[in-house]
Every structure is written in structure tokens, then in C-alpha cells.
Amino acid sequence: MEHKEFIKFLNEILTQYGFKKKGNKWFGESNDLLKVVDLQRSLYGNSYYLDYGFILKKIELGSLRMHISYGFGSNVLEKNNRIKELLNFENNINDEQRKLELSNYIEDILLAVTQNVETESDLLNEIMKMQNLNLVPLRIKKHFSLS
């Protein structure tokens, strides 16, 4: 699959859920926050990374790309390895198979999180599911009174 075709594929999925493309990012918006999906191409080969997360409108980003961010993957090792394979375009996975599997993972993982977070309260609930709050920026911890 070529880069432009991959962008078109992602755009078709994400726009169905209210995201709008700007560069290699897609943004969704609610009253309290922005939802972000960020596509990055590897510097070391023909593979990609998808990051997704949230920006609270009330809080400055500073040097952060997102206030809360996730790498697109799974806690289940086999699923995570498969996602990496699907995002590596140097292998011989059929394009239609790649699209089918990626769209399923995007809906089951990435969109399951982003579509359930519409308010600051929803985001706090999502943060509290994290195993380690060390990944939460200090300004977000202060905002939500987390220690």
C-alpha cells in the first residue's frame, strides 16, 4: 500500500467518526477537548506509527503534542505484534487484508477510547484506568487534583 492510499484509508475511517484531517493529523472536537490521531512515518523504513489522545482546551500544551496520549497498540502481545506487522508496509500482507484488520483494530482500540471521551470527566475516568499515572503530565495531574 502506498502512503497516499494509507492516508485515504485512515481518512475514510476517521471522518465517519467526526474527525477532520489537517496534515498528518485528524482532530475531533467537543466542548471541553480536542481528540487527536497523529500518523507518523518511521525514519527507518516503510512503516508507520499511530498516536492518539486528547488536548484539554483550558490548558496550555507547552512542549506537549497532546495532554494525554497513547500509542496505537494492544496490551495483548499477539495483537500488538499483529498491529506492528500491519503498520509495516515492507512485508507482503495483501492490501485488502491489511485494511480489514487495521480497520477492526482501529475501531476496537483507538475509536473505543476516543468516542467514549467527550468531557473532562470522561477523560478523568480514562486517566484513572491507566496502570501508571507517571505518564500523565504534571499540569494535567494538577488540573484533576491527582497526586
* Predicted pLDDT at 1: 85
Domain assignments of the chain as residue spans, ordered by start: 3-142
User: Tens of pLDDT along 77-100?
Assistant: 999 999 999 999 999 999 999 999
Q: In angstroms, rounded to a whole number, what is the distance separating the alpha carbons of residues 23 and 10?
A: 13
Class of residue 71 by CB neighbours under 10 A (exposed 0-12, middle 13-18, buried 19+): exposed
- pLDDT at res. 147: 77
Q: Are 66 and 50 in contact (CB under 8 A)?
A: no
| CB-based contact 55:38 (threshold 8 Å) | no
pLDDT digits (tens, 9 = 90+) for 99-140: 999 999 999 999 999 999 999 999 999 999 998 899 999 999
Residues in the chain: 147
What confidence score (pLDDT) does residue 61 get? Answer: 95
- pLDDT tens track for 22-40: 999 999 999 999 999 999 9
* CA–CA distance, 110 with 39 (Å, rounded to integer): 13
Angle, CA 107 vertex, CA 104 and CA 110 arms, to 5°: 120
Q: Residue 34 carries which DSSP code?
A: E
Tens digits of residue pLDDT in 97-108: 999 999 999 999
